[in-house]
Amino acid sequence: MSATTVFESVCTQLEQRTSLDRLEARGTVRLALKSAGLEPSGVTKEQMSVVLERVLPGELSQRGVDEGAAVCAAIRGELPEDAPTVDSPEAVFARLGGG
């Protein structure tokens, strides 16, 4: 699964499970990722899972969303499976060269 798909999936679910509109949901997830040092375009399922557990509940609480931790736990359980990652050319050459 691409990072964009992970980001989009979480934003869509957050919008559906809370009173946040599309823009608010996307902005909240972006802020949570930023505070974790991550970018929406590069986030993996595993990284998003940690953000959902440790960062996003606080962001939701600041926005008046009740049961933010429960919402995040439900979304974590619905994260789509990762697709196999495509190696960069550098990674392929490093393996071929024994490095």
Q: What one-character DSSP code corresponds to residue 97? A: T
Q: What pLDDT was estimated at residue 5?
A: 86
Range of the domain at 45: 3-96
Q: What is the pTM of this model?
A: 0.79
Phi-psi region of 88 (alpha: psi -120 to 50; beta: other; left: phi over 0): beta
- The answer to whether residue 84 scores a pLDDT higher than 80 is no
- Mean pLDDT across the stretch 80-89? 59
pLDDT in tens, 8-63: 999 999 999 999 999 999 999 999 999 999 999 989 999 999 999 999 999 999 99
- What domain count does the chain have? 1
Q: What is the per-residue DSSP string for 11-35?
A: HHHHHHHSS--HHHHHHHHHHHHHH
